[in-house]
């Protein structure tokens, strides 16, 4: 297993700068953010431009990683592949296709995205739509020797009432995804706030975990007693502010990383554990983000066999 991080936490840095910093601070891999230019949308970045990405670009990026002794673990584009607007949905699907092509040129094993959801349709209706949307993407990935991985993030901010906006939040849905040929980008933090034991949930499916993310979470049960599980309802000005939990870097929340990492090892996972830094305490400036990444490294590095 190798320890890496998702580059989206440093959207204004160049990939070259991030690679240099990561190697200097003991990281072994990077999950590279590869959104198209989306303006000010949070937790996104464009550190690799998939459109027009060719062999020369692949040589340059591969040389950069090789020169610093780093692994490129995944290309990251977490967006709504079931978007309610047909044109937007097609654009997102097409970008995933471009990332699969770029990953193949880079010998990068995975491309990460979301299933997503049309919030105007039921879960059952969305699943039937996904069964029409994803075969094209999965088949193309298979032809290119790339695995398409889905993060189990709830994406509650995509639903007007704070319900799941990404239909990959439970083992029941993982089994449905696996039947489509998709793999899991396992993140334990999302399971914890949904009341699911992250270790018990993943144990039967570790052979389907092609990539893993390390994000922690801090829960405030006394606030949940006021809002209930979906979170703030009356004055929810920020769709992402549930009101009774917040993300943290590993070591500052309630995920039991000893159990999580041990379960991954026991199940035979030998891929990359990638820190996804969305901690509001250690955010806001690049210096604080770097500190957060160092906290995560100090927490996880002793648990990973060198």
- pLDDT-derived band at 82 (thresholds 50, 70, 90) equals very high
Look up residue 91 and give its two tokens.
């654009």
Q: What is the per-residue burial (b if ≥16 Cβ within 10 Å, else e) of 40-53?
A: eeebbbbbbebeeb
pLDDT of residue 38: 60
pLDDT (tens digit per residue) in 250-297: 999 999 999 999 999 999 999 999 999 999 999 999 999 999 999 999
pLDDT of residue 17: 98
- pLDDT-derived band at 305 (thresholds 50, 70, 90) equals confident
pLDDT of residue 37: 74
Contact 299, 257 (CB under 8 A): yes
The angle at the Cα of 106, spanning 111 to 95, to the nearest 5 degrees, equals: 40
Q: Which secondary structure element, helix H or strand E, spans residue 171, and what is its range?
A: helix 171-179
pLDDT (tens digit per residue) in 15-72: 999 999 999 999 999 999 999 976 567 789 999 999 899 999 999 999 999 999 999 9
| C-alpha of 304 from chain center | 20
Domains and CATH numbers, the chain: 2-303 (3.20.20.150)
The strand ranges marked E within the chain are 2-6, 29-33, 71-76, 110-113, 147-151, 183-186, 209-214, 216-219, 245-248, 272-275
pLDDT of residue 39: 55
Q: What is the mean pLDDT of the chain?
A: 96
For residues 168-179, give the mean pLDDT.
98
Statement: residue 249 has pLDDT above 70? yes
pLDDT of residue 40: 60
- pLDDT-derived band at 131 (thresholds 50, 70, 90) equals very high
Helix axes of 86-106 and 55-67: crossing angle, nearest 10 degrees? 60
Give the integer Cα–Cα distance in Å for 256 and 217: 10
Give the integer Cα–Cα distance in Å for 84 and 197: 32
């Amino acid at each position: 297993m190798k320890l890496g991080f998702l580059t989206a936490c440093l959207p204004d840095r160049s990939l070259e700068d991030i690679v240099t910093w990561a190697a200097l601070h003991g990281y072994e891999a990077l999950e590279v953010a590869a959104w198209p230019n989306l303006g000010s949308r949070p937790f996104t970045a464009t550190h690799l431009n998939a459109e027009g990405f060719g062999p020369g670009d692949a040589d340059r990026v591969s040389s950069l990683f090789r020169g610093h002794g780093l692994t490129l673990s995944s290309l990251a584009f977490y967006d709504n592949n079931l978007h309610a607007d047909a044109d937007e949905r097609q654009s997102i699907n097409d970008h995933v296709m471009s990332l699969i092509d770029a990953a193949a040129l880079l010998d990068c094993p995975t491309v990460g995205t979301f299933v997503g959801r049309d919030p105007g349709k039921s879960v059952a209706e969305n699943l039937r739509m996904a069964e029409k949307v994803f075969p094209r993407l999965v088949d193309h990935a298979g032809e290119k020797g790339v695995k398409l991985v889905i993060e189990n993030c709830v994406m509650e901010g995509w639903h007007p009432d704070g319900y799941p906006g990404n239909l990959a939040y439970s083992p029941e849905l993982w089994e449905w995804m696996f039947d489509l040929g998709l793999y899991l980008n396992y993140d334990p933090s999302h399971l914890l706030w949904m009341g699911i034991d992250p270790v018990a949930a993943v144990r039967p499916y570790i052979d389907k975990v092609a990539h893993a993310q390390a994000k922690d979470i801090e829960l405030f049960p006394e606030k949940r007693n006021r809002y209930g599980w979906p979170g703030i309802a009356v004055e929810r000005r920020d769709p992402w502010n549930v009101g009774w939990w917040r993300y943290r870097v590993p070591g500052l929340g309630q995920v039991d990383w000893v159990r999580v990492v041990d379960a991954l090892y026991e199940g035979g996972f030998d891929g990359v554990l990638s820190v996804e830094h969305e901690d509001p305490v250690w955010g806001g400036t690049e210096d604080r983000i770097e500190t957060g990444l160092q906290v995560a490294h100090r927490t996880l590095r002793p648990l990973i066999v060198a």
